[in-house]
Structure 1
């Protein structure tokens, strides 16, 4: 009672606060306060952010800046699906945890799938190895297998992959590359041979021939032949496996090349339009085509940009399908998302855990249907039990501990994200329209326009990273000089090849070769007659014991292939800086020591420390050893210590006010005693002093606007690293 009385007394003594007494400042008032705080700095330059998408981000967003609510889709599961394709969002249908499963041997992959499902995965995401995607048998395995992916060459392999798995319970996600008829028909043959229902299969076993052309620059069959084949697959699937999608629109091939978010989305939409038109020519209607499509998007580092991209993607796809006459169900975009390859680092790789977490968060807020979080060491090696567990648990924690299965459309109503979504949609639509002006996706690729535009953005990214305007922790900023690289868990290629060769030969030895050849002949005749019954014929071929390569050779024996001038090359954002570190490590192994940088610190610690710290960080990202000290009181002491250090470079560190007095004598003395030593200065020189500094012997200046990568490359070359 006493506590209750005290509480009531306290509440009685506290006056009620009315927020009416606070007047909300408008944007102009805030702007004037911000300008005053900048003390002469440019408001536009300091507080506005230009992105690679050609969008300028405001420092603050207000209700007036947001799009008119009447122009937007206002309800999830309705209108243009910007807010999601399900009315209840993840509350009624959580996103699928679709971690990639990439073991090479079929039986081992089966164990991995079961393990992942037991530990929390809710979909089966199978990576095929490069040879399988190309239709070649596992007896030709080479070093490409180091990238992982299961080798499937026979119906027995297919059985071993799926043995004991309930395909009614789990959706599939398999990117088959340019062709999926072989995988679908082999899976169908295996299920029928084991008295399983083909209709149990659902999810996506998809082909993306244009995506492969973009990534590889060539195809082993012509696009016309691949489109013919895809049309037959779509028709068969619609009739026999209605819950299976067969067309993948892969945005990762552009993201891996450094493309911006609007480029990735715009090119994916342009590719989808090409598939629609080509399949319509072959007798399919828009509702059938659109319902068989699944989109794959990469998730980059710009958190809000990725959310906006996913929301804009659904909105624009609805618009595209509607323009072709598709119904509301066909306008729903199914999205599989994957954390980006482009921004993952080899050095300081544990930071990748933070990157994938924020990327996964953006995917969830953006409203994806399934998600793949890559292991933190994916840029270095195939994932192990630890890295796979961390990646998988990222999603499980987002669902079960962070409660991200609700609310529906969490970004809805955000002035910033609503504005950004509209801008991304408009910019992406412009990219797609430009491709249409260029004659469509295929013609744009043949002209090299898509590749050129992606490369332009890549070069912008590299330039900003080189100048450290963009920062990557552990690589071009805050490098760990004592870091030991993670070991690569490389596969034994020879042993795997021997195992796969034996498995394939043992299978072939038990088949009726005459019967198999009869079925291959029927396949050849079916192709010559342009029959729509391709999948059933292929199914019979695999049931008769043909290998993947047997079927593929007949399928494409008269096709001439396809080429474009160049591909969208796969890169990683930090590869140039990492190459510097690699070269530095190789030099250290060969010579027993690193190239050294001597800090010619002038004056007491407070005088030189800021620039000494800056210089240390600047050079350590290039693998140099930085020789530190507490400072020198005279120019003679500094020069003498620099010469005796045996370093490649001496860098003078102090303040702008002291440089006119200190720099010329220190530089001259060092050059007089050791002419080959490179002398540098920490800080941008005042224009009136630069000439005298260079005359004294200073060769380069490092500061926040300097091109870090170019300077470090030059220094390595001066030190004998080529």
Structure 2
């Protein structure tokens, strides 16, 4: 059979000047500035990346500056690290066993807020134990890992301020079950600075917690070589509104602080590096998130070379889809966002991935939500084969330029933190918190003005929504677990030298993690800083919808070509705030306007049309309501300059695509004498 030879001779080479000219004709393709103060061009060329030396290196090279390790591509897999967030230890074990039978390949758990702060179940508030396991005793560990083949399944637990109590329980568990602890793999790590930033307080001084960090790392290096004990996480900063440059810089500064502190305590660089896990949250800005992860690999290589110019370290990157972008209403859109975020994680080179269940923002997640998240991994692995491509974004002029810009800005901010004493000092001075707060305020403004889109919230909001106050967070009651408190008379057995054998003896006698930390606290002082403010992008919209439940807006389209487009702007704006909208079309007289407003009782009305037609009809229509309180809006940016004139004619305000929804609706609710707390 004869086949035609593929040829592209009919396509002539188009000069880049011609491309630039075509792009300039489309105003939607103009340059845009990101939250990181990076100007994204509408068109990139080879010349934009010609100066980047690292592009000469092959993907998955010896230091993996581009892409994950070579083994990941051969196997075509990443670690499916779906964290189980149930508060019940026994139920967590059941769900883990079910998940392992259905595709999950790690034993991953969310540690409760109580556990991350060093509290036992009976010392914590209900909210602190509502989501995630609180592993307080050896018995808890035995129940949690019952029937789990630990020699074949990596672990993943972020224990918060310290991992020493849990490592003690694990050692005792291994002894009791004749299991060789050297076979443990995965991450059982601590992140004292991340915990301090998130909660504002840790139960021991950071100096003592660094002792724990060094102790756990020395233990792992000597006895559990495949276990990672240090977690450097950007998640607390991400969930408080930090941008990509800030996340990268804070990760670098925290990682350097941990290495420095371990080396001060007698560990070498080569003993520390293999036991570090770097944990990122990944949002829905696809190319930015891909570039962020790619940038981190190269930035971390620079950090390692600053310690030892002969050292090579491939960072282990764990990613989690963003809780910041999740919504309590129209929750299935969370699954769509998480899929995009998971894709960005893998293209960016993640070694391990947790996909937030779509309902995790309201409660401990349902088994169906866990299943959906787990199956998203399996589809990406076995149907897209995305992980079999080495550095799939590599070579894209846009992504490479974006990666380089993030690297440059993050390195500059990292240098500034180091010049002022490092990450711990920056947290204690409040500099980090102030920077993140400023960025959060900017992002909140962009969300409220619907510049930053959140599908199902700022745009395409569901017409029938359940008000946030009716979405009951099924906070599980604190699990009734009997804590066998170890007598304070036996505190002499407690070693101040942090010997694991001493801890193991105590763990075997039934002491709790909280009790251990209380004994340590007698020889230490807790550290505190101003905590980061947790933030979720959809929160204000969810709160405002509580007040607008049952309210409606009447939208009037005048006989004018521009009226329909303006009506869509009004409908989108008010529906995002929870109002039901009713529309009447083809109005051509002020009598029709007045009659419809009299017949259809709504909280407010919107008139859509050209400047001249709106002024002609509205002025006369408003004379019918001189003694009544009627709230009317007009739509269009061309009206903004005449806002004062319109208000004199009885118009509530002028709205346009970038109107601040929350401020606009709060003003209306105030006029309706509704007390609002948003």
Q: TM-score, normalised by structure 2?
A: 0.94
175-184 or 554-563, which moves further after superposition?
554-563
Which residue, out of 355, 372, 377, partners 1:395?
A: 377
1:79 deviates by 5.0
Which residue, out of 65, 78, 81, partners 1:95?
A: 78
Aligned residue in 2 for 1:295: 278
Cα separation, 1, equivalents of 2:56 and 2:367: 43
Residue 344, structure 1, aligned to residue 326, structure 2: yes
Please list every run of 5 or more consecutive structure 1 residues that lacks an aligned counterpart in the other structure.
586-593
Residue 658, structure 1, aligned to residue 613, structure 2: yes
Aligned residue in 1 for 2:16: 27
Relative to structure 1, the CA distance from residue 22 to residue 130 in structure 2 (aligned partners, 3 Å threshold; closer, same or farther) is: closer
Please list every run of 5 or more consecutive structure 2 residues that lacks an aligned counterpart in the other structure.
none
Residue 376, structure 1, aligned to residue 358, structure 2: yes
Cα separation, 1, equivalents of 2:473 and 2:651: 46
Cα separation, 2, equivalents of 1:601 and 1:420: 43
Cα separation, 1, equivalents of 2:6 and 2:519: 81
1:253 deviates by 0.6
Instruction: Please give the residue correspondences for 1:249-288 in structure 2 after superposition, counting only pairs within 5 Å.
Output: 249-288=232-271
Aligned residue in 1 for 2:519: 554
Aligned residue in 2 for 1:633: 588
Aligned residue in 1 for 2:545: 581
Cα separation, 1, equivalents of 2:575 and 2:168: 55
1:88 deviates by 4.3
CA contact (8 A) 1:269 1:432 kept: yes
CA contact (8 A) 1:581 1:623 kept: yes
What per-residue deviation string (whole Å, max 9, x for no partner) do you get for residues 55-76 of structure 1? 1111111111124364436123
1:673 deviates by 4.5
1:333 deviates by 0.3
SS where residue 611 of structure 2 aligns? coil
1:669 deviates by 3.1
Residue 430, structure 1, aligned to residue 425, structure 2: no
442-451 or 74-83, which moves further after superposition?
74-83
Cα separation, 2, equivalents of 1:190 and 1:583: 53
Cα separation, 2, equivalents of 1:304 and 1:368: 15
Cα separation, 2, equivalents of 1:274 and 1:659: 63
What per-residue deviation string (whole Å, max 9, x for no partner) do you get for residues 294-329 of structure 1? 100011111111111111111111111121117545
What per-residue deviation string (whole Å, max 9, x for no partner) do you get for residues 411-452 of structure 1? 122212122111111111112111112221111112211111
66-75 or 162-171, which moves further after superposition?
66-75
1:691 deviates by 4.9
Cα separation, 1, equivalents of 2:596 and 2:129: 49
Residue 248, structure 1, aligned to residue 219, structure 2: no
1:357 deviates by 0.5
SS where residue 189 of structure 2 aligns? strand
Instruction: Please give the residue correspondences for 1:38-437 in structure 2 after superposition, counting only pairs within 5 Å.
Output: 38=26, 46-68=29-51, 70-72=53-55, 74-78=57-61, 80-92=63-75, 94-145=77-128, 147-325=130-308, 328-329=311-312, 331-437=313-419
Residue 569, structure 1, aligned to residue 533, structure 2: yes
What per-residue deviation string (whole Å, max 9, x for no partner) do you get for residues 105-151 of structure 1? 22222111111111110111111222223333323353225641112
Cα separation, 2, equivalents of 1:461 and 1:290: 35
Relative to structure 1, the CA distance from residue 689 to residue 339 in structure 2 (aligned partners, 3 Å threshold; closer, same or farther) is: closer
Aligned residue in 2 for 1:624: 579
1:648 deviates by 2.7
Aligned residue in 1 for 2:663: 710
Cα separation, 2, equivalents of 1:58 and 1:201: 48
Aligned residue in 2 for 1:591: none
Cα separation, 2, equivalents of 1:75 and 1:139: 54
1:716 deviates by 1.8
Cα separation, 1, equivalents of 2:666 and 2:182: 58
1:248 deviates by 0.3
CA contact (8 A) 2:115 2:160 kept: no
1:212 deviates by 0.6
What per-residue deviation string (whole Å, max 9, x for no partner) do you get for residues 595-634 of structure 1? 3322243337x66332223212211222223232234332
CA contact (8 A) 1:233 1:534 kept: no
Cα separation, 1, equivalents of 2:197 and 2:307: 25
What per-residue deviation string (whole Å, max 9, x for no partner) do you get for residues 563-590 of structure 1? 11x22211011211111112323xxxxx
CA contact (8 A) 1:598 1:626 kept: yes
1:247 deviates by 0.6
CA contact (8 A) 1:287 1:327 kept: no
Instruction: Please give the residue correspondences for 1:483-522 in structure 2 after superposition, counting only pairs within 5 Å.
Output: 483-484=465-466, 487-488=471-472, 490-493=474-477, 496-497=478-479, 499-501=480-482, 504-505=483-484, 518=490, 520-522=491-493
Cα separation, 1, equivalents of 2:269 and 2:657: 54
1:252 deviates by 0.4
Q: TM-score, normalised by structure 1?
A: 0.89
Relative to structure 1, the CA distance from residue 467 to residue 130 in structure 2 (aligned partners, 3 Å threshold; closer, same or farther) is: closer
Relative to structure 1, the CA distance from residue 75 to residue 548 in structure 2 (aligned partners, 3 Å threshold; closer, same or farther) is: same
Task: Please tell me the root mean square deviation across aligned C-alpha atoms, in Å.
Answer: 2.3
1:643 deviates by 3.5
Relative to structure 1, the CA distance from residue 668 to residue 121 in structure 2 (aligned partners, 3 Å threshold; closer, same or farther) is: same
Cα separation, 2, equivalents of 1:688 and 1:183: 64
Aligned residue in 1 for 2:499: 534
Aligned residue in 2 for 1:720: 673
Q: May I ask how many residue pairs the two structures share in their alignment?
A: 673
Residue 461, structure 1, aligned to residue 443, structure 2: yes
Cα separation, 2, equivalents of 1:344 and 1:185: 36
Relative to structure 1, the CA distance from residue 480 to residue 561 in structure 2 (aligned partners, 3 Å threshold; closer, same or farther) is: same
CA contact (8 A) 2:640 2:654 kept: no
CA contact (8 A) 1:600 1:639 kept: no
SS where residue 480 of structure 1 aligns? coil
CA contact (8 A) 2:116 2:195 kept: no
1:103 deviates by 2.2
Relative to structure 1, the CA distance from residue 616 to residue 277 in structure 2 (aligned partners, 3 Å threshold; closer, same or farther) is: same
SS where residue 627 of structure 1 aligns? strand
SS where residue 119 of structure 2 aligns? coil
Relative to structure 1, the CA distance from residue 362 to residue 166 in structure 2 (aligned partners, 3 Å threshold; closer, same or farther) is: same
CA contact (8 A) 2:60 2:390 kept: no
1:361 deviates by 0.5
SS where residue 628 of structure 1 aligns? strand
1:707 deviates by 1.9
Cα separation, 2, equivalents of 1:146 and 1:641: 54
Relative to structure 1, the CA distance from residue 93 to residue 200 in structure 2 (aligned partners, 3 Å threshold; closer, same or farther) is: farther
1:561 deviates by 0.7
CA contact (8 A) 2:291 2:348 kept: yes
